């Protein structure tokens, strides 16, 4: 349900239904299954991996870039709006352990997932939201 809500939000924001958006949507729906690999994604779109790469390149994008953006969006959403543990969130995002997720999150936002969540909670308490 969280993934679907994020999909709807992204579609509204983009106003377009590009191939990149289609790939983003598919990745969101496939996390945390093993099908979020390039091969699984291409198969779910009924195309080869090379066709997937070619179509993404035509829109100045790539699989890894899109996967990272999807994970960033979902990570901040989960940490700010959910009471799930950080290890559960890591699993939802397709990370095989919480350490890999924590390192990626720190690389993206220069803050740990725990500190990000604490700041989100502190902000919501101070604003009443």
Q: What pTM does this model have?
A: 0.79
Interior CA angle at 108 toward 41 and 5, to 5°?
55
3-state secondary structure of 110: coil
- pLDDT tens profile 92-118: 999 989 999 999 999 999 999 999 999
pLDDT of residue 16 exceeding 60, the answer is: no
pLDDT at 9: 65
Spatial contact of 114 and 99, defined as CB atoms under 8 Å apart: no
Span 70-80, mean pLDDT? Answer: 93
């Amino acid at each position: 349900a969280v993934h679907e809500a994020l999909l709807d939000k992204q579609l509204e924001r983009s106003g377009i239904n590009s191939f990149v958006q289609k790939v983003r949507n598919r990745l969101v729906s496939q996390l945390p299954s093993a099908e979020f690999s390039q091969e699984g994604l291409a198969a779910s779109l009924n195309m080869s991996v090379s066709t997937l790469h070619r179509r993404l390149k035509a829109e100045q994008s790539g699989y890894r870039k899109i996967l990272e953006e999807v994970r960033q969006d979902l990570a901040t959403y989960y940490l700010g709006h959910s009471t799930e543990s950080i290890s559960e969130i890591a699993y939802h995002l397709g990370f095989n352990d919480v350490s890999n997720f924590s390192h990626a999150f720190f690389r993206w936002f220069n803050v740990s997932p725990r500190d990000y969540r604490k700041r989100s909670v502190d902000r919501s308490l101070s604003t009443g939201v």
